[in-house]
Structure 1
Amino acid sequence: MKKHFVINLFLILLITYSCIGQNDSKFSINGKTKDLDNGTILLLQNPLSNKFIDSVKVTENTFVLNTQLTDFPAQLILWRDSSTAKILWVENKNMTFDSSTSSFDNAVITGSITDSLATSLKNKFKELKSYEEIVLYELEFIKNNPNNILSAHNLSIMAKVFGQEESSKLFNKFSIQNKQSEYGKMVSDFLDLQISKTPQIGEKYIDFSMDNEKGEPKKLSEINAKYILIEFWASWCIPCREENPELIRVYNKFKTSDFEIFAVSLDENKENWIKAIEKDNLNWKHVSDLKGRNNKASLIYAVNSIPDNILIDKNGVIIARNLRSDKLDKFLSESLLSKTNTIKITDSGKHVRISDSIIWKDEKGNILTNLEAKELLKSGNYIPDFDEKKNIGVLKKRI
């Protein structure tokens, strides 16, 4: 009953929204902040183009934005600094931004029905108990709101989770406007891939080919290494660029130990991509199809934000995802440098071999490093249960 009530509330909001005119090409935001120095510059970014489209100076913890756009509603990002931002859906009307009693990224937005709807949806997700419930609720929302831009946006992210068949059904019910939106084009590109589902940890990778900086086609399968890291990044991605020095350190440490990086850029501008490679001294393999967020590999591997990465072993099995700096270093140290691959189970005296490629999990499905698996086995409190087909070992606690 509660679920139907919330969906009905969404529908009421959508009906109200459809009655509002959208003739102007400008929106305005009157903002209140706290603890920001006079002269602090806020940057407004369009995540679809990855370009900054406006900026404003904060005075006495207030600011006013008056910005031209061609399409509404639109999702934008207001950056306070390189690590703090507020995502908001703007409409062509007067809006307010208030973080005077909250953190900047939790600012209260008024004046945009689309933003209110997105916030309600986000809050609903927080109430749900499991990821599976969130996926089902998201699917139900998109199914019941085929004409709303949020459905197009959300499907562009969730299509890789729903799979091709279900995503195709949802997409076919979309309005012409939603199908032709940038989000609709992302969904369409994903459907064109004709893959059954996004490969997960414990499953074989899906091969792809793209051009390198010289315009030469390069395949993932052409790389011969014990471990291959597919690193998703872009020249415009601030967190990616900040992460690069640490990634260089890890690469230099393990490149002679059968480790390679295959970097996939979500850039659209080739010149910016090449300049970033040179400026950051990224001496590993690089490819890009220069399609930005519609990058083929990012669609295959359901990359919704960057930086992101996928670690593949010599057997072509995905063994980890989103290993940043210290975690990547620790994982490779244990896998490439560790010489102890056999462990004795305390009470039985049985020896268990810790394979370089095996994926260890606890009973809740959390990924364990080889070192963590060894320590748990040594304790005598856990028993290994192997799925040879998927090359996964689950450590189950003794009863």
Structure 2
Amino acid sequence: MIKSKIKVAKWALSIFIFATTCLYSQNISKNNVSMYKIHGTIKGDITDSFAYLYYNNVEDSVTIANNNFEFKGIVSDTVSAQVYIKSAENAPQFYLENNTIDIQISANKVNKDGKSVETMHIDGIKGSHSSQIQQEYLNFYQQNAGKKEFNKLLYSKLTVFLKKHRSHPFSGAILAELAMVNPILSKKELNTLYSILDITKQTDQDLRFFKKGIDRLGTYAVGKPFLDFELPDQNGALVHLNKFNGKIILIDFWASWCAPCRKKSPELIALKQQYSGTNFEIIGISRDKNSKQWNAAIEKDKLDWINLLDQDQKIESSLGIENIPYNYLIDEKGIIIGINLSPTEIGKILSANTKKT
């Protein structure tokens, strides 16, 4: 077992709440266990001999035997941690605490920018008190998201939830996501919730994302004009946003190598077909570096709308977008009427606002 002070910058990714599909089924009580013991199982064809655990600028390594590994140690507080193998492009995050934790991980090859890379994903965690806290929030969100005035319900829930878990780093991750990825609360509400947190227990990254999201909400929030831009289409011709004045536009940020992006494509195609003959239009903006792979994905997925390429991610940077898929819905006057909406939410808005052309 090797421990060293190392900064693993390449895997600095936030624990966004809905980016994981892990199911947590065990009921674990918070206890006074004096150390952590992590047993991990990796599903997939890997050749790595070592697994790595990284937290608080400390890296720990252990041998992988028959796709299994085990870490032992002590943490003074619950912390955000990453587990990974050197051959993988990413490092899944979880919350490390003094408990006996079982983690199931899958390793898969994916095509990114024309290259085959290995990615890791946490399929499930057992034995973690933190996972219970996460599941509590997830259950509330899923059970209430479709209700009228959900934003008021969420604000009320978080006021109580954050007071109870103000020192847990998951609380900071929630607010980072609500500011950066899922801005359904107002800037004032988010700042009020932020004041509840013990910020000394939150990750620097989540605090940075929260601030970045808050800054963006002042510029590109619902009710504000969208960014004016010009990008090349599949033929290299520059397309300006003002070309679509008078239309309701869904601007969808994606990439050919982004599996969640492409998983949503059939629903967007269905929306496009349902509202054909109206003033609704979709503009896809890709961050692909490989234009051939981009064009191939458009053809394969039958993305029959305006597709633009932003290889340098200048538009995403201006908007503060960190993760994809991501979208903005814009009205006929170029005003933002929705941010990062699901296809169902987009459909509800379109049913009330589109016009026949």
| TM-score (norm: length of structure 2) | 0.51
Mean Cα deviation higher: 126-135 or 186-195: 126-135
2:262 corresponds to which residue?
241
Looking at structure 2, the residues matched to 279 and 166 of structure 1 have their Cα atoms a distance apart, in angstroms, of: 43
Looking at structure 2, the residues matched to 253 and 166 of structure 1 have their Cα atoms a distance apart, in angstroms, of: 36
2:102 corresponds to which residue?
96
Q: 1:118 to 1:169 in 2, by over 3 A?
A: same
Q: 1:66 to 1:224 in 2, by over 3 A?
A: farther
Cα distance, 1:126 vs. partner? 6.5
Contact 2:250 / 2:327 at 8 angstroms: preserved in 1?
yes
1:64 corresponds to which residue?
68
Which string of whole-angstrom CA distances, capped at 9 and with x for unpartnered residues, describes residues 68-102 of structure 1?
xxx9424789xxxxxxxxx983427752258xxxx
The yes-or-no answer on 1:226 pairing with 2:241 is: no
Contact 2:220 / 2:226 at 8 angstroms: preserved in 1?
no
Among 126, 133, 139, the alignment partner of 2:159 is 139
Looking at structure 2, the residues matched to 135 and 263 of structure 1 have their Cα atoms a distance apart, in angstroms, of: 32
Q: 1:222 to 1:172 in 2, by over 3 A?
A: farther
Contact 1:218 / 1:287 at 8 angstroms: preserved in 2?
no
Looking at structure 1, the residues matched to 192 and 274 of structure 2 have their Cα atoms a distance apart, in angstroms, of: 48
The yes-or-no answer on 1:154 pairing with 2:160 is: no
The yes-or-no answer on 1:165 pairing with 2:211 is: no
The code of the aligned residue for 2:289 comes to E
Looking at structure 2, the residues matched to 179 and 90 of structure 1 have their Cα atoms a distance apart, in angstroms, of: 12
Which string of whole-angstrom CA distances, capped at 9 and with x for unpartnered residues, describes residues 145-181 of structure 1?
4432111100012233332223234435645555652
Which string of whole-angstrom CA distances, capped at 9 and with x for unpartnered residues, describes residues 254-304 of structure 1?
999876533345x5xx635x4542332476224476499x855466xxx9x
2:126 corresponds to which residue?
109
Q: 1:277 to 1:205 in 2, by over 3 A?
A: farther
1:340 corresponds to which residue?
none
Q: 1:108 to 1:277 in 2, by over 3 A?
A: closer
Among 39, 57, 63, the alignment partner of 1:29 is 39
Looking at structure 2, the residues matched to 180 and 253 of structure 1 have their Cα atoms a distance apart, in angstroms, of: 43
Q: Of the two structures, which has the highest relative contact order with CA contacts closer than 8 Å and spacing of 6 or more?
A: 2
Could you tell me the percent identity over the aligned residues? 20
Q: 1:250 to 1:168 in 2, by over 3 A?
A: closer
The yes-or-no answer on 1:73 pairing with 2:75 is: no
| TM-score (norm: length of structure 1) | 0.46
Looking at structure 2, the residues matched to 170 and 254 of structure 1 have their Cα atoms a distance apart, in angstroms, of: 39
Contact 2:267 / 2:343 at 8 angstroms: preserved in 1?
no
Contact 1:161 / 1:198 at 8 angstroms: preserved in 2?
no
2:227 corresponds to which residue?
208
Which string of whole-angstrom CA distances, capped at 9 and with x for unpartnered residues, describes residues 239-267 of structure 1?
323455886798799999876533345x5
The code of the aligned residue for 2:297 comes to D
The yes-or-no answer on 1:181 pairing with 2:204 is: yes
Looking at structure 2, the residues matched to 219 and 206 of structure 1 have their Cα atoms a distance apart, in angstroms, of: 15
The code of the aligned residue for 2:207 comes to G
Contact 1:209 / 1:217 at 8 angstroms: preserved in 2?
no
Instruction: Show the 5 A alignment for 1:301-380.
Output: 307-316=325-334, 321-323=341-343, 369=351
The code of the aligned residue for 1:229 comes to L
Among 122, 126, 129, the alignment partner of 2:138 is 122
Looking at structure 1, the residues matched to 201 and 257 of structure 2 have their Cα atoms a distance apart, in angstroms, of: 27
Q: 1:172 to 1:245 in 2, by over 3 A?
A: closer
2:56 corresponds to which residue?
none
Cα distance, 1:189 vs. partner? 0.4
Contact 2:289 / 2:311 at 8 angstroms: preserved in 1?
no
Long gaps (5+) in structure 2? 1-28, 52-63, 72-77, 85-91, 105-121
Cα distance, 1:137 vs. partner? 1.2
2:283 corresponds to which residue?
262
The structure whose Rg is larger is 1
Looking at structure 1, the residues matched to 155 and 326 of structure 2 have their Cα atoms a distance apart, in angstroms, of: 21
1:271 corresponds to which residue?
289
Looking at structure 2, the residues matched to 296 and 92 of structure 1 have their Cα atoms a distance apart, in angstroms, of: 37
Looking at structure 2, the residues matched to 127 and 244 of structure 1 have their Cα atoms a distance apart, in angstroms, of: 25
Q: 1:271 to 1:224 in 2, by over 3 A?
A: same
Q: 1:165 to 1:118 in 2, by over 3 A?
A: same
